[in-house]
Structure 1
């Protein structure tokens, strides 16, 4: 009796486990197939291309960006649907807009973004009106048309990853796949696909007979459904338990979903080879990789080769093992002919066609330093990036320009600078970084962490902790502008400072700052000391206003690195991360409003739920009038100070900034900003070798080349000065009286004062 009860309990338990396993497997299958989440890659999207009124563009460049996103061109008078665009001349533009255009307005381009609901197309049409000089004179959005300040295109898919492996995957519908491609894959992999219920007993028996006859595993018996199950639900272990699960799940899959759903999913997730470090997944990306075509454009020969590759992408790679690929393609065509999918003549003609040639370039990761910054930001906020759709702030064109500007300058230095050339010959590679952010949003559009990611993955823009040198000086001057002199008078841009050699004793030590070139200027106004980066005057000022106060102001502006209260701190004898420089200088550009930087605009999980959204929420820090006075002084650095080569090179948009050179010439910096963008450049050696460069010669050229291309997208507006400030123009005689006029200096200088502290 006890034995009978025990057996009964075991059977009941087994049935219970089986039922539970069945329900669990059914739920997992249903969720994954219905949402097409057999592969859930991490997807990174770049920022949507943005076009601003009164910026410069070429319509052909805008069209190129739209075509990259597969937009369709239409006539100007047609209805523009999602994913359509048109280009029109002045008369056609005027007719479309129903407004008068002047003779200087030459053409326009309009589009409706791909993700626009059909019901909203009329109100979502965006039109750029462009002048003969390439200036966007007006932007409209309608209907009815309303004038706007900016227009946006689509956010392009930037990269896909499975774990740390980059992925090439383009999802296609079954309707996009040519019937001959469907027939080819079924002919070679599963001829009874349309007939069986998930498992082919006939196929298994046939494979078993062939394997016994061959004395080895010569043929597999798995159906397309089984391949889908074992590749995406089960481990690769070869056990009876796993094989049983595969059988059950395949039958379950076929009972719940149509053949079309199963085949479409299979064609989108099947592994199709490697393009460099990139996994090629699915027929959509494989067609592009192997043939440079869309899947819908493949011919019979190409379809049969795709089916050949499926079995073993490494063994039948047409670029690496062409003989194997041709032999397997022949087999596919033979099977198709045997199943009467094609005639003998069609098979022979397809078999004679050559294999595709090697792709001209291997896939490479786009903006890998930027994606590294994105991952690190999300992880620092306890958000696992795996499987997310991540909408970044990356500006693809700006990233490319920054990378080219940095690499070109470093190459030029290693070729033409005798000292650096010598270091290069000894195996030392000069490195650098570039960071760029939008002042209003805080979104970082560019991260260049080095000259070549394949050579070194160290992200200097994010993880490089380097001495900042004179990049520190604006914090000293801002602290002064917020305080009073020892005599009780307010500090202003024309307060006189002593630029003289001095010794400062503290904690049993003596410290004496030295000016660049060991030249001292006596009494000079604050703006002059800052624009010319005078060490003695700055150090004396920092000591006078209090080192602790300088540290407090520096942290308030956005610096997070530890600062120690010793006098050399006033000249930047400590380390910062470039992103701290970016954050704090962006606070300068915003007149003291601190907007937190972010590399990510928003992130969604696989269910479409938002897990992160960047907030534009600037917080006030210090008196805006004091920051405005500082920015007015920093403008002089660009106009006639240590960064005057920016103006001399032809960049005319209002800009402010500060060069940075460490005392041992190991680090060269320039942090500069316009009313719209803040850009930070660093140049140096990873092993801390001195390079004998200054901020002017090492970093400013990179900033200049980049901003001449990207900064000119924006209007040439001056900074939005706070209401309680006053512009003061100093003429030559006044400058001479202040000891602030030297040969080649401008004869007039415009400065910004707190209205209550301005000179009469």
Structure 2
């Protein structure tokens, strides 16, 4: 027995010191969780954008900005709304009768000595647009204003979470009292473990048959941070020793503060909600310091089992547990009878409208991969991305709804779904003016599959490649020595092409051929035979060179099938190259990151796009005018028919084996790429028009309509020509009921008819 006691003491002493060493390394630095922080892009307001005061105010209220009167001084995180007369008085600026009011704010991250010079003001027009933007004071007109960049998520390695570190001073006493009342009433008295609590739990377990824990807050902290939740004697033994150690090294305030910052509080999509600061935002859209008794008691209720007491999914459980918390608080004289009754009657919070929680991790995956390619470690960084949360949400919904609909209503796809194959897709969106990528939807749901198709998918692009064939032609001359133009006639007839000892006979969709047709007509209707014939004329190597200049990095082999996109590309390459087209041949390297700061606030990366003009703007403008016809009356004509009528250009993409469906389109402001297909390369029998166009249209109706309905700004050296019905008939360009009787095209000066 003596030997056993000595051995036990030896083990205890050894455990004590070894566990103390392990704990000290983490506790003394107080770095319980050091996440990489990701910020979404700030909301951008531009002159002539669609908006009004109600929309803008709601956006700022979601970020917990404070409203002030128009004549009060604004501080960080403040805003005011004012009428036309109030605006004129505050801004010392005369507004006209069409300007109905203004909205002004100061972002939270502005330095104190720069508050006045950082006030941003939006002036609203009576047609629900922004007519003027000011920055001051003194106020001066600027083209754009920027809201606060919202904290999107934190990651520990690849583990997504939501966390907002708070000090104990920010925690309302009612929240501290609530958690102690329900979880550890003797917290301020015990030394890490509560014998009373353990004995009470044992008695209840025996008498009621229900499992009840006797863990203190200190033990819960140890278990949450240092240990696992496995139920073994060794784990429980370590928990006891480490709890005593923790209490000997830190005071109660430090232990409680840490506990409130690391405790698991639920799940928001793929993101763990960690700590009271994040929980206050998630459940109530409030700062922790602003919570009231009924909210504090609900958080304390959730702690025990965030899944069982989730107020959004299991309100009856949550309400019952909250009442228990209030009873405990009343029993400890933390609250009065009337306070308890009032809090118990308070309604539970409504489920928040979550923004892109199912697909935003795809965007953050793209961010990490970009920084990794730059050899910048992400650990501990504050990363400011270009993610547009509203646009990401819209893209996620547009893609998911279309895929769900296809799996219900398309007989072939429904059959594949029943056999276990899930149709997938991607959406990528870039801002043409900045080069920043605002949206990355790499699949239907990140929790179902983490494969990021938008970044890592390598798929055949089909007719997505055709604009580069036609652009190459527009840069060259016909065999007769005349410059190619949008109305140069092409031969759309089936023929066999012999190349390197092989014979290839490309077919048009539906096996229909149109004879002699102008270039714009062949492109808008995606005629394979005409395109291949053109590609062979202008030179396959030249097409490869143009594609590379515009942003394609994948290897392209100069085979005839290149003209029909019978090779694989990454979707980001499609985005890059189509954004170069949209910018009239000005290539801006794309980026998912605006800037990244280290723990000291020093910038370790800033996006500075390397702009370079890779092709003559007038030539690219001529191509864009042809691509506009795709949407007006070609393979993408469903777009205006279904409600998106802003000027736009694009191209459908369908692979020969019907395994990949694309639509890549752009306005002067945004370029949006959509792909639909199966990961296992099954045939879905969709075209770009039936697979990609519906997603693109639905998304652009929601997000593209923010921007003015401007046509493209045609560069110098171009001539706009409208072809009348007689001219079109002479060109054999009126062959279908939906072909228009007049067409507007852009010609490079000197090539016009």
Quickly name the TM-score band, shorter chain normalised. Answer: 0.7 to 0.9
* 367 and 279 in structure 1: CA distance in 2 versus 1, 3 angstrom threshold: closer
* Structure 1 match to 2:530: 537
What do the CA deviations read for 1:254-312 (whole angstroms, capped 9, x no partner)?
A: 5xxxx756643443234446667544432334456677875446566775676677688
Distance across 1 between alignment mates of 2:279 and 2:362: 27
Q: Is the 8 A contact 1:289 1:359 kept in 2?
A: no
The structure that has the greater radius of gyration is: 1
* Structure 1 match to 2:668: 675
Instruction: State whether structure 2 residue 656 is matched by structure 1 residue 663.
Output: yes
* Structure 2 match to 1:118: 112
Distance across 1 between alignment mates of 2:440 and 2:542: 32
Distance across 2 between alignment mates of 1:691 and 1:193: 61
Deviates more, 1:718-727 or 1:308-317: 308-317
* Structure 2 match to 1:713: 706
* 102 and 662 in structure 1: CA distance in 2 versus 1, 3 angstrom threshold: same
| Of 142, 145, 149, the match for 2:139 | 145
What do the CA deviations read for 1:410-443 (whole angstroms, capped 9, x no partner)?
A: 3444444455455555555433221110112221
* 365 and 532 in structure 1: CA distance in 2 versus 1, 3 angstrom threshold: closer
Distance across 1 between alignment mates of 2:310 and 2:511: 66
SS at match of 1:716: coil
Cα deviation, residue 315, structure 1: 9.9
Deviates more, 1:353-362 or 1:381-390: 353-362
Instruction: State whether structure 2 residue 626 is matched by structure 1 residue 633.
Output: yes
The 5 A counterparts of 1:260-659 are: 263-272=256-265, 278-287=271-280, 295-296=288-289, 329=325, 333=329, 336-337=332-333, 353=344, 364-365=357-358, 367-421=360-414, 423-424=416-417, 428-659=421-652
Q: Is the 8 A contact 2:427 2:439 kept in 1?
A: yes
Q: Is the 8 A contact 2:442 2:454 kept in 1?
A: yes
Deviates more, 1:499-508 or 1:47-56: 499-508
Distance across 1 between alignment mates of 2:303 and 2:532: 69
SS at match of 2:658: coil
| Of 676, 691, 698, the match for 1:698 | 691
Q: Is the 8 A contact 1:498 1:537 kept in 2?
A: yes
* Structure 2 match to 1:107: 101
Distance across 2 between alignment mates of 1:316 and 1:586: 48
Distance across 1 between alignment mates of 2:638 and 2:159: 43
* Structure 1 match to 2:176: 182
Distance across 2 between alignment mates of 1:506 and 1:179: 81
Instruction: State whether structure 2 residue 39 is matched by structure 1 residue 48.
Output: no
* 207 and 380 in structure 1: CA distance in 2 versus 1, 3 angstrom threshold: same
Distance across 1 between alignment mates of 2:26 and 2:604: 23
* 312 and 336 in structure 1: CA distance in 2 versus 1, 3 angstrom threshold: farther
Deviates more, 1:111-120 or 1:207-216: 207-216
What do the CA deviations read for 1:604-627 (whole angstroms, capped 9, x no partner)?
A: 333433333322222332333332
SS at match of 2:690: helix
* Structure 2 match to 1:159: 153
Q: Is the 8 A contact 1:578 1:680 kept in 2?
A: yes
Distance across 2 between alignment mates of 1:250 and 1:92: 58
SS at match of 1:706: helix
SS at match of 2:645: coil
Distance across 2 between alignment mates of 1:42 and 1:189: 30
Distance across 2 between alignment mates of 1:74 and 1:655: 41
What do the CA deviations read for 1:289-338 (whole angstroms, capped 9, x no partner)?
A: 6778754465667756766776887899996988996898489548835x
* Structure 2 match to 1:83: 77
Distance across 1 between alignment mates of 2:730 and 2:301: 85
Q: Is the 8 A contact 1:470 1:533 kept in 2?
A: yes
User: How many pairs align?
Assistant: 723
| Of 34, 54, 59, the match for 1:65 | 59
Cα deviation, residue 213, structure 1: 12
Give the gaps of 5 or more residues in structure 2.
Answer: 1-16
Cα deviation, residue 60, structure 1: 1.6
Cα deviation, residue 741, structure 1: 4.0
What do the CA deviations read for 1:147-201 (whole angstroms, capped 9, x no partner)?
A: 2222211111222333343323233343332324434556788889879xxx949
Cα deviation, residue 142, structure 1: 2.1
Distance across 2 between alignment mates of 1:500 and 1:218: 80
Give the gaps of 5 or more residues in structure 1.
Answer: 1-17
What do the CA deviations read for 1:365-403 (whole angstroms, capped 9, x no partner)?
A: 462332333333333433443433222211111122222
Q: Is the 8 A contact 1:184 1:336 kept in 2?
A: no
Distance across 1 between alignment mates of 2:423 and 2:215: 57
* 742 and 95 in structure 1: CA distance in 2 versus 1, 3 angstrom threshold: farther
TM-score of the aligned structures, taking structure 2 as reference length: 0.83
Distance across 1 between alignment mates of 2:301 and 2:106: 40
* 137 and 295 in structure 1: CA distance in 2 versus 1, 3 angstrom threshold: closer
Cα deviation, residue 545, structure 1: 1.7
* 717 and 208 in structure 1: CA distance in 2 versus 1, 3 angstrom threshold: closer
SS at match of 1:583: helix
TM-score of the aligned structures, taking structure 1 as reference length: 0.82
Distance across 1 between alignment mates of 2:24 and 2:310: 36
SS at match of 2:332: helix
Distance across 1 between alignment mates of 2:558 and 2:494: 21
SS at match of 1:510: strand
* 581 and 209 in structure 1: CA distance in 2 versus 1, 3 angstrom threshold: closer
SS at match of 1:637: helix
* Structure 2 match to 1:723: 716
Q: Is the 8 A contact 2:227 2:235 kept in 1?
A: no
Distance across 1 between alignment mates of 2:702 and 2:188: 57
